[in-house]
């Protein structure tokens, strides 16, 4: 690791953790517990369509929950399912499911990398477009202890690629942009926005997607100690 770095900043979902099974599978399992039969693939497709159309809220926990309720209802609707009088119960169960550790998995290289970073003098930060449930989830997954700074949408009221969510982390850690290394899984909201702020950036490319040769990337977090 470059000796000039004072901190390593991580994205969360897709970088350190992932949704077990799939969003559609969780939605479908919850719906089935209320007697509603659904197709997982249809729900997965619908969720991806809906989530990309809606901007994340920045108005606190009540606004977040209202937004997620809209996402859930629109997902089922687009997939061709009418929850009718069960919509409130289904939503509450889904919201609760994603707040606990059962919905989430931790990439094996994530734990290894976080532990290795903690053995150095590096500070660790998290920059995520997650809502107010983030800290609860981190504690459930036993990841909270690794971070010196948490900069996430539910806390700072900004979402990536807004530069202010990155700047919040830099200020909290009292470091300059060039003293930080940021790792995320999206070119559009992680990699390029970080570079625009003069933060050193690496894309975690777990699926081995074809990328521009100039994009600095790794397929495992363990590789960051070799290439920087």
Q: Domain limits of the chain?
A: 7-16+107-227, 21-102
Q: What DSSP state is assigned to residue 13? A: B
Q: Pinpoint the alpha helices (H) of the chain.
A: 23-32, 40-51, 61-78, 87-97, 108-118, 134-140, 153-156, 163-173, 192-196, 224-227
pLDDT per residue over 134-189, tens digit each? 999 999 999 999 999 999 999 999 999 999 999 999 999 999 999 999 999 999 99
Q: Is 157 exposed, middle or buried (0-12, 13-18, 19+ CB in 10 A)?
A: middle
- pTM score over 0.75: yes
> To which CATH superfamily is domain 7-16+107-227 assigned?
HAD superfamily/HAD-like (3.40.50.1000)
- CATH topology assigned to domain 21-102: DNA polymerase; domain 1 (1.10.150)
pLDDT per residue over 73-125, tens digit each? 999 999 999 998 999 999 999 999 999 899 999 999 999 999 999 999 999 99
């Amino acid at each position: 690791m470059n000796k000039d770095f004072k901190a390593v900043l991580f994205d969360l979902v897709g970088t350190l953790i992932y949704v077990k099974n799939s969003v559609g599978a969780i939605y479908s399992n919850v719906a089935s517990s209320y007697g509603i039969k659904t197709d997982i693939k249809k729900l997965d497709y619908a969720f991806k369509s809906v989530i990309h159309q809606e901007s994340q809220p920045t108005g606190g926990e009540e606004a977040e929950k209202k937004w997620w309720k809209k996402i859930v209802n629109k997902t089922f609707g687009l997939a061709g399912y009418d929850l009718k009088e069960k919509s409130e119960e289904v939503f509450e169960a889904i919201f609760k499911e994603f707040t606990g550790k059962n919905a989430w998995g931790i990439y094996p290289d994530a734990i290894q990398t976080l532990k290795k970073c903690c053995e150095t003098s590096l500070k660790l930060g998290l920059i995520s477009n997650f809502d107010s449930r983030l800290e609860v989830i981190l504690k459930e997954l036993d990841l909270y202890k690794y971070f010196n700074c948490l900069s996430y949408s539910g806390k700072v009221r900004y979402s990536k690629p807004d530069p202010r969510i990155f700047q919040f982390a830099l200020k909290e850690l009292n470091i300059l942009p060039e003293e930080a290394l940021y790792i995320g899984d999206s070119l559009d909201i992680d990699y390029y926005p970080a570079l625009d702020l003069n933060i050193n950036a690496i894309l975690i490319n777990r699926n081995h997607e074809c990328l521009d040769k100039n994009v600095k990337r790794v397929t495992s977090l363990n590789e960051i100690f070799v290439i920087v």
